[in-house]
Amino acid sequence: MTRHPFLLFIGGISSQIVAMGIGRFAYTPILPMMQNALSFSNALAGYLATSNYAGYFLGAFLAGMIGSQKNRMIALQLNLVISVLSTFLMGLSHSYLLMFVLRFLSGVSSAFIFIIASSLVLDELASRNKSSWSGFFYGGIGVGIVISSLVIPILNDWFQWEGAWIGLGLLSGILAIFVWIWLKPSEEKREKRKEQDASTHVPSINYLPWLIAAYGLQGLGYIVTGTFIVSIAEETPTFSGDPTYIWMLVGLAATPSCVIWSFLAKKQGFVRSLVIAMLLQSIGIVLPTFWDSPISLITSALLYGATFIGIVTLSTTLAGLISPTNRNRVIGILTTFYAIGQMIGPSIAGVLATVTGNFHISLIGAAGTTLLGALLLLGGILFERKLNKGNSPVTSKD
């Protein structure tokens, strides 16, 4: 390897902060500020979120089709520029049409960066027989959420919501430099990687459709809370604190969760760990509906943060292990179905919230959808066991 693996890892973590922690999820804590200043409804907020997830869908579809390493690096660098500019320019726009375009472009770039960076880092970890370390890499999303949650209230006090976007755009630009310089493919250990991946005991390729379907349903369910949790906090009469800090709790819970879930997967198996994570997430999503108090919001944020990136970590790592020689494509397919769910969720939730005056129905539906994803994973286990005549395929020994 031509550079220290630690630098590649830092580049990978920085990519998650830029593309996901800021590029995708900064919208959640800034949304109430934009709504107060511009007076647009929850329905419009949902449509804006959907435009971002539509871009994410397109980006995931296209990124999974890129074959050569050279083209992947060109796409990564191009989308770093798009991600930084689309974040920065949100602060210069008061046109809804331009906001739709910018959030769409941000979604496209987020997907490209996420998929390409994931395949590069997971390839390197697999070559060193350290796939369970993927949690450290995906923890970058939680770090990005924490950073944005700390910075946004300050920037909003000084420069309003426009300044929050501009400040985050500048921060993204600085972090993008680290990604550009350090996140490069390793040319060494390629043969060793193939041998180690081939010998890793994971579910067979027959399990992949079950994982993709479950991940898509989870994308539909989790994104309702992921888009509106700060708005829900602001609209909760019993909650008197700064709602932005609810999102910070999500990030604080998310940052170490990836490592914890990766460790659990190594001990208990990926599928079993995914089912547990989805069950806990369902509880976190629906909790504010049945318990109207600040404690319920805090608990919901912590449960949500502790699971949603963990599910990403487990799902993408497992998909890569199931198809190690085609990791970029399989993660692209997985992310595409995830994006389809994300496109549907915010629009439906926003319209329902506007019509009913609260998010109760939306949260119940989101929790139920995530629970259904967990049941599909269990169905996949039964399917695998029948194919293998009772031999359990769900424990990884990577």
Picking from 121-130, 255-264, 332-341, which range would have the lowest pLDDT averaged per residue?
A: 121-130
Mean pLDDT of the chain: 81
pLDDT of residue 3: 53
Q: Where is pLDDT greater, at 243 or 81? A: 81
With 90 as the cut, is the pLDDT of residue 224 above it?
A: no
Cα distance between residue 160 and residue 141, in whole Å: 24
Residue 225 lies in a domain: yes
Alpha-helical (H) ranges within the chain are: 5-16, 27-38, 42-63, 69-90, 96-127, 134-182, 190-199, 208-235, 244-268, 270-290, 294-322, 327-356, 360-387
Q: What is the pLDDT of residue 397?
A: 40
Q: What is the pLDDT of residue 191?
A: 45
Residue 253 CB neighbour total at 10 angstroms: 23
Q: Which residues contact 159 (CB under 8 A, 6 or more apart)?
A: 166, 167
Which is higher by pLDDT, 225 or 217? 217
CA geometry: angle 330, 280, 239, nearest 5 deg: 120
Is the pLDDT reported for residue 193 higher than 60?
A: no
- Among 34-38, 222-226, 244-248, 368-372, the range with the most confident prediction by mean pLDDT is 368-372
Q: What are the tens digits of pLDDT across the range 290-317? A: 887 888 888 989 999 899 888 988 888 8
pLDDT of residue 288: 86
Question: In this structure, is residue 72 part of a structural domain?
Answer: yes
Over pLDDT 70: what percentage of the chain? 89
Domain residue limits at 215: 5-387
Q: Does residue 394 fall inside a structural domain?
A: no
* 395: in domain: no
pLDDT at residue 289 is higher than 70:
yes
pLDDT digits (tens, 9 = 90+) for 344-396: 877 787 778 778 777 788 889 889 999 999 999 887 776 656 555 544 444 44
pLDDT at 394: 44
Torsion of CA 267, 268, 274, 280, to 10 degrees: -100
Question: pLDDT band for position 175 (50/70/90)?
Answer: very high
CATH value at residue 350: 1.20.1250.20
Structure tokens at 287: 């909790």
Question: What pLDDT is stored for residue 393 in this prediction?
Answer: 43
Q: Which two tokens stand for residue 305?
A: 């943060």
Ramachandran region, residue 101 (left: φ > 0; alpha: ψ -120 to 50; beta: rest): alpha
Residue 41 lies in a domain: yes
Tell me the one-letter amino acid at 83: S
**Higher local confidence (pLDDT), 140 or 244:** 140
- Is 274 inside any structural domain? yes
Task: Using the predicted structure, report yes or no on whether residue 77 has a pLDDT greater than 90.
Answer: yes
Note whether residue 285 is domain-resident.
yes
Q: What's the pLDDT tens digit per position in 119-173?
A: 888 777 777 776 667 777 888 888 888 888 888 888 888 888 899 999 999 999 9
Report pLDDT digits (tens) over 38-72: 887 777 887 888 888 889 889 988 887 777 778 88
In angstroms, the Cα distances linking 42 to 45, 47, 49, 237, 240 are 5, 9, 10, 17, 21
> What pLDDT does 198 receive?
37
Closest C-alpha to 172, from 270, 91, 256, 255: 91
Q: Is 346 within the bounds of a domain?
A: yes
The confidence score (pLDDT) of residue 108 equals: 94
The domain total for the chain is 1
